[in-house]
Copies of this chain bind each other. A is one copy, B any other.
Amino acid sequence: MSVLVVGSVAFDSIETPFGRAERVIGGSATYFSVAASFFTDVQLVGVIGDDFTEEHLDVFRGRPIDLAGLERVPGGKTFHWSGAYGFDLNVAETRATHLNVFADFEPRLPETFRQPDVLFLANIDPELQLGVLRQVRRPRLVALDTMNYWIASRKSDLERTIREVDLILINEAEVRQLTGDANLIRGARRIIALGPRTVVIKRGEYGVLMVTGELIFAVPAYPLEEVFDPTGAGDTFAGGFLGYLASVPDHGHPHMRRAIILGSVLASYDVEAFSLERLLQIDRSDIDRRYREFRELTEFGDLEPGAG
């Protein structure tokens, strides 16, 4: 049981109403791997420069994360994103994107990485995503993330890649942008008509909506009195979600629902601090406790016969 992720390993410089962090560790593959590693073996494919030191790599140590696919470019600099959030923590303002070594990233999978159970194509060029898919023996589940930039500039490439995946992770605005439909449910059905069986819509502080041909499942976000920094929440969600799915024998509705909750649990820890700070503190018992709190948050009984 393993999950393979292809994405970014990066430095982030972040400003929120609650503080500021300079060049802390970030990147989609980083958040994803740490979150997924609570449930399964992880294989990471990404690229870094010389400035991402052995000390920075400590973030992965002591976890079942295989770094054989993490390429280091000698003399290169690591991807660096700078952004800021206002009080509406749902919206990030990008101040600078220095792709650096990520600009020429061409994922090449080590031989040992070519049979993952689950594959996560984090938000990169849709053509590169397709190239990765071509390098693996068909996994049990292939999931894809994307962003407004690719929808606007590379829609046909993106749609070609979407046709080949089982599941797409996407936020509300991106559903509308991709499908041209203001209604989320109809938009999700249009995506399903392209090929994926499952659409997982990320709604930030409003939680997650999962749409399949037979099922709609909705969960609110865990209510927090202190949301410190939302950076990485989407990839952390994906890590908990797909990490759990890699660890279970089938992907029927009961496990899909549990996976959505576990992704939400991991994301709720992520946003409590900058970078991976909080994720590196928690253990499996913290995850299980918050899972039970999600039950408390959402459950209600049947109507009693004749009541009302």
Give Cα distance in the complex from A219 to B221, angstroms.
10
Per-residue contact bits, chain A 262-298, to B (CB 8 Å; 1 contact, 0 not): 1000000000000000000000000010010011111
- Quick one: closest B residue to A262, CB to CB? B308
Is B247 in contact with A220, judged by CB distance below 8 angstroms? no
Q: A39-B308, A301-B258 in contact; A183/B226 too (CB < 8 A)?
A: yes
Q: Is the CB of A224 within 8 A of B185?
A: yes
List residues of chain B with CB within 8 A of the CB of A88: 182
A300 surroundings in chain B (CB, below 8 A): 217, 219, 254, 257-258, 260-261, 294-295
Interface string of A224-244 (1 = CB under 8 A from B): 111100000000000000011
Alpha-carbon distance between A297 and B216 when the two chains are bound, in angstroms: 6
* Nearest opposing residue in chain B for A245, CB measure: B308
Interface check A24, CB cutoff 8 A: no
Minimum C-beta distance from A208 to chain B (A): 9
Q: For the complex, is A299 an interface residue (Cβ under 8 Å from B)?
A: yes
Q: Does A203 contact B (CB under 8 A)?
A: yes
Among candidates B206, B295, B307, residue contacting A206 with C-beta atoms closer than 8 Å: B206
Query: In the complex, what distance in Å separates the CA atom of A189 from the CA atom of B243?
Result: 35
Size bin of chain A's contact surface: 35 or more
Q: Which residues of B contact A307 (CB under 8 A)?
A: 244, 247-248, 258
Say how far A148's CB is from chain B's closest CB, in angstroms. 17
Mark A112-125 against chain B: 1 for CB-CB distance below 8 A, else 0. 00000000000000
CB of A176 to closest CB in B, whole Å: 9
A87 touches B262 (CB 8 A): no
Task: Tell me the smallest distance from the CB of A110 to a CB of chain B, in Å.
Answer: 26
Is A11 interfacial (CB-CB < 8 Å)?
no
Closest Cβ–Cβ distance, residue A260 to chain B (whole Å): 7
Which residues of the partner chain B approach A227 to less than 8 Å between Cβ atoms? 183
Q: Is A102 an interface residue (CB 8 A)?
A: no
Find chain B residues with CB under 8 A from A182 CB: 17, 87-88
Q: Counting CB contacts under 8 A, is A147 at the interface?
A: no
User: Smallest Cβ distance from A303 to chain B, in angstroms?
Assistant: 6
CB nearest to A1 among chain B residues:
B308
A131 interfacial by beta-carbon distance below 8 Å: no
Contacting residues, chain B, for A73 (C-beta < 8 A): none
A72 sits at the interface (CB 8 A): no
Which of A185, A218, A247 lies at the interface centre, i.e. has the most chain B CB atoms within 10 A of its CB? A218
Please state if A225 and B183 are interface contacts (CB–CB under 8 Å): yes
Tell me, yes or no, whether A38 is within 8 Å of chain B by CB.
yes
Complex CA–CA separation, A219 to B206 (angstroms): 10
Residue of B with least CB distance to A39: B308
What are the 4 A-B residue pairs with the smallest beta carbon separation, nearest first? A218-B220, A257-B300, A206-B206, A87-B182
A residues sitting closer than 8 Å to B (CB atoms) are 17, 38-40, 87-88, 182-186, 189, 203, 206-207, 209, 215-220, 223-227, 243-244, 247-248, 254, 257-258, 260-262, 288, 291, 294-303, 307-308
